[in-house]
Structure 1
Amino acid sequence: MKKLVLFCILMFSLQAEAQNTSAYAIPQKVDSLYKLAKVYEANGNISKALYCYERAISEENENTQLQFDYAKLLAQSSKFRMADSIFEKLTETFPNNPNFIYQRALIKEAQNDSTAIEEYKKVYFLDTNHINSAYKIARNYIENRKFKESESFVNKGLSADSNSVRFLNLLALKQFYTKDCHDAISTYIKLIGFGESNVQIHENLASCYSYTNQFEKALAQYKILFEKFDDKNPKWHIEVASLYRSLKDYKKAENHLNIAIGLQEIPLSESYMELAKNYKRQGNYKDEMKALKKALINNPKNELALYLLAVSADNYFADKKVVLDFYEDYLKHYSENGRMWELAKQRVSDLKKELHFSGH
């Protein structure tokens, strides 16, 4: 209501000034236009806000705050060139003002200009208490896996506010990528306690639980991912299958692997490899071979699948002549550069000796 009253008063004032040509020269008009621009901006009418800023600046172009606010709105409206030209002039006039440099850095970042990070560093050099620039620098270091370099900036943010969600997110990512999983778990739990919930948080937390052999807790995170975000994500179903396999619940593992395969338009060879692994854990070599053959149908160049097929046949068939054919098939497809070539060659040699001494 107060904004509406102010808006009406300002509009009436401007209309009165329009009828009096002498009013254009007095500072009061600049102030009225500036305030009106703020009202329009607050109400989301950006085009009229910019118009009022432009009129005010045409009357008075030395007001720093007016230029700053106008340039910020230009940047928010993706009018980057105009905005940057204003901030550039302000920076030249006030070279030690970190806020003008920071705004230029934001504009560079919005345009995917890699030099933005250097501007953020300039800001931090001028003001080590500039927390926004500390965050930008820390995030850049973590994105580029420079974890040691990020530490002082993350610590700076958390010393200013130990409950800062954005800096806790950076800390958790640093801990996650450096496999400091126990600390990462604590940080992610703290973030969830603050009401944070997104795919990355739950995925990373599940991964940390899995890494520390807390399989049930990892499954609980995937349950959240399925319920809140996407129950048709084949990657998650494969990871859940791996967790159930670790818990020796092979039936549930098989179920999730079949779901993953069914969700993929062209079933991936790796999905069948996981299914084969599940059967092998149970000593079910017949079904392991079936899964490996499907893996090869989907990717005939899957060297590991071809070799594992021979190993599975070795476990399943009593007839060593049949087994020999599988290993020789692998050797036929892969030369001495094959990853399992030496193993396959040795097994062929052993099988031939067995067959010779058994009279076959």
Structure 2
Amino acid sequence: MKHQLILIVLMIIFKAEAQSSASSMADSLYLTGNYTLAINAYAKMGNDRTNLQIARAYQAIGNLDKAISQYESIVAENPALQIAAFELGKLYLRTNAYDEARKLFSKLATGGSENPEYQYYLGEAYRELGQPASSLVSYKNAIQLDSTHLRSLFQLAKFFTVKQQRDQALEYINQGLEFYSNDVALVNLKALVYFNDDQYPKAIPWFEKVLALGERKEYVYEKLAYCYYKNWEFDKAKETYNELLKLNDDNSDTYFSLAEVYRKNKELDSAEVFIKKAMEIKKPIFATGYNALAGLARERNDLTTALSYYEKAHAQEPMEPRYYYQICTLNDQLAEEPGRKLEYYENFIKLYGSKQPYVSQMVARRISELKEEIHFSQE
């Protein structure tokens, strides 16, 4: 009897060692990316852990349908295995099965767990389903469980930034930055909050920090340059727009913006150079460029050249009333005969009167003055 007991114990030990060896071999195959052989090896063992590894291996090789099927089988057989349900829920999100993800994460979140990740991913499911109110509740639940949950803080901050609700956005942004001051996503949001609120001096250091953290994106340079421009820091604005051109020298808007910096700094010749460069890139749409060149000519008090550019702008976009209105006012200044002036203003009313009621009122008053002037001159 004693010998039989020893034999049974030895058999159990040998079997455990064999299973351990097989498991180690399967794990080695999995960790080195040999997923198909790993799946075959795990399938021979058939326990919760190896079944979970099979699901992970299917996901690793991109066979998401089989991965989902494997996860669903595990969850059905062992509902208490939260790790399987958690990974399945994330896979549902990845494959756009948002309602399935919502159901699963809702069950995990309401199962007495204090895991903020469940609340966060529940929020993600609601967000993808177009239910922002429910998603916000879930994100807030996540940060109640963990005040440092960055992804939930970011989603809340992003929502209120987009809605341009400055104070609420800053509340969540600052909460996140308190414990991770270099989180580039939150730093970027803080810059955008101030930018959207026209607080350009406050936005500047945050956009600068975004760049310092390595986020060298076109929109960052563009907005930072605009902040410098609005803050009358023209040299910094020029430098930043030039950095933007190094990233993309085929965007006419950048050249127009750079031209505006030079114009505002009274460097009209340089402004003209960049306007013409913008027009070269934006062919065949010249109207914006001609309008800008007309503005420069006006600043030089070269009204004849300004009129010529406005006429070219109007020829490009005849449905745009502001170009023709400038033609009217310049002819008013340049023409000697009241009748010629009157002709342009009356034509403005015919072309754009119903579309531009406020401007049409000013034009109507000028028409009245000119008619009176013509009447008295005839007498």
Q: TM-score, normalised by structure 1?
A: 0.82
Q: Aligned-pair distance for 1:346?
A: 5.0
Q: Aligned-pair distance for 1:33?
A: 2.2
2:278 is aligned to 260
Q: Aligned-pair distance for 1:32?
A: 1.8
Q: Does 1:193 align with 2:212?
A: yes
Q: Does 1:77 align with 2:77?
A: no
Q: Name the stretch that deviates more: 240-249 or 113-122.
A: 113-122
1:21 is aligned to none
Query: In structure 1, which of residues 14, 17, 36 is the aligned counterpart of residue 42 of structure 2?
Result: 14
Q: CA separation of 1:67/1:356 partners in 2, compared to 1, >3 Å: closer, same or farther?
A: closer
How many residues align? The count is: 348
Query: In structure 1, which of residues 256, 266, 283 is the aligned counterpart of residue 301 of structure 2?
Result: 283
1:161 is aligned to 180
Q: CA separation of 1:281/1:67 partners in 2, compared to 1, >3 Å: closer, same or farther?
A: same
Larger Rg: 2
| In structure 2, C-alpha distance between the alignment counterparts of 1:80 and 1:142, rounded to whole Å | 24
* 8 A contact 1:120–1:136 mirrored in 2: yes
Unaligned runs of 5+ in 2: 1-24
| In structure 2, C-alpha distance between the alignment counterparts of 1:66 and 1:345, rounded to whole Å | 75
CA deviations 1:175-232 (Å, max 9, x no partner) are 1112221221111111111111112211110110110112222122222222213x22
Q: CA separation of 1:112/1:220 partners in 2, compared to 1, >3 Å: closer, same or farther?
A: farther
Q: Does 1:176 align with 2:176?
A: no
Tell me, what secondary structure is at the counterpart of 2:110? helix
The residue identity in structure 2 corresponding to 1:14 is Y
CA deviations 1:237-278 (Å, max 9, x no partner) are 222221221233333323333343344455264443222112
The residue identity in structure 2 corresponding to 1:82 is E
| In structure 1, C-alpha distance between the alignment counterparts of 2:101 and 2:282, rounded to whole Å | 47
Q: Aligned-pair distance for 1:339?
A: 2.7
1:207 is aligned to 226
1:245 is aligned to 263
Q: How does 1:1-360 map to 2 (within 5 A)?
A: 5-7=28-30, 13-14=41-42, 16-17=44-45, 24=46, 29-38=47-56, 41=59, 46=64, 49-50=67-68, 52-57=70-75, 59-94=77-112, 96-115=114-133, 116-229=135-248, 231-264=249-282, 267=285, 269-318=287-336, 321-331=339-349, 333=351, 335=353, 338-345=357-364, 347-348=366-367
Q: CA separation of 1:259/1:339 partners in 2, compared to 1, >3 Å: closer, same or farther?
A: farther
* 8 A contact 2:26–2:42 mirrored in 1: no
Identity %: 24
Q: CA separation of 1:296/1:87 partners in 2, compared to 1, >3 Å: closer, same or farther?
A: same
Unaligned runs of 5+ in 1: 18-23
Question: Over aligned residues, Cα RMSD in angstroms?
Answer: 3.3
* 8 A contact 1:10–1:32 mirrored in 2: no
Q: Name the stretch that deviates more: 38-47 or 139-148.
A: 38-47
Tell me, what secondary structure is at the counterpart of 1:93? coil
Q: CA separation of 1:31/1:285 partners in 2, compared to 1, >3 Å: closer, same or farther?
A: same
* 8 A contact 1:30–1:59 mirrored in 2: no
Q: CA separation of 1:53/1:349 partners in 2, compared to 1, >3 Å: closer, same or farther?
A: closer
Q: Name the stretch that deviates more: 306-315 or 339-348.
A: 339-348
Q: TM-score, normalised by structure 2?
A: 0.78
| In structure 2, C-alpha distance between the alignment counterparts of 1:64 and 1:43, rounded to whole Å | 23
CA deviations 1:146-202 (Å, max 9, x no partner) are 001212111100001111111101110111112221221111111111111112211
Q: CA separation of 1:75/1:316 partners in 2, compared to 1, >3 Å: closer, same or farther?
A: same
